[in-house]
Amino acid sequence: MLDITIPQKGFTTKELVMTALFTAVTVVCAWISIPIGTIAITLQTFAVFCVLLTLGGRDGLFSCLAYILLGAIGLPVFTGFKGGLGVLVGPTGGYILGFMLMALIYWAGTKLLGKKLAVQIILLLAGLAVCYTFGTLWFVYGYSDNGSTMAFIKAAKICVIPFVPFDLLKLVLALILSDRVKKYAKI
């Protein structure tokens, strides 16, 4: 049986500090927007990849949760300096909530399969696919709720397909950066 409960010992001071630090990194990465043609790329997924690769599944999950909770209470931590429950329940909120699913998949997967590089990459790609799927379903529901309808495939063409190559590049960069950060921070 897979045990992903929080250990009785809780968090060490270093774990708390690193979790808070990487929550702040996620906020800053959400604010960075790079316009490319008709789309804008943010670094949120890059931050989530870095969080999970550097901190691991448990602490990464709590970093993602802290990020979402900060936004939910109204702090402008999301893309475009937005915050509040309206962002989370809006059409694109599912992608933000999907970060939690990415972290859960990574945590459970590394508990079951270990932390070899190939396993980490597969888990991050699986988590990203789940995040895409959950976010796109949420997006479709968000449009349907407004009286219009949108097919899942059309939503995926708008919300996912243009971002896949960039998210794969972000994953490669996160692999390189997180490895160096772990060495220097002795994580």
- Look up the pTM and report it: 0.90
DSSP 43: S
Per-residue pLDDT tens over the stretch 143-153: 765 556 778 89
> Tell me: the pLDDT tens digits for 53-69?
999 999 999 999 999 99
The residue ranges of every structural domain in the chain are 14-185
Q: pLDDT value at position 10?
A: 84
- In this prediction, residue 146 carries a pLDDT of 57
**Non-local CB neighbours of 108 within 8 Å, separated by 6+ positions:** 2, 4, 57
Residues lower than pLDDT 70 in the chain: 1-8, 144-148
Question: Spelled out in words, what is the top-level CATH class assigned to the domain 14-185?
Answer: mainly alpha
Which pLDDT does position 44 carry in this prediction?
Answer: 95
Here the tokens at position 126 are: 């699986």
Q: Which long-range contacts (CB under 8 A, 24 or more apart) does 141-150 make?
A: 141/94, 142/90, 142/91, 142/92, 142/93, 142/94, 143/91
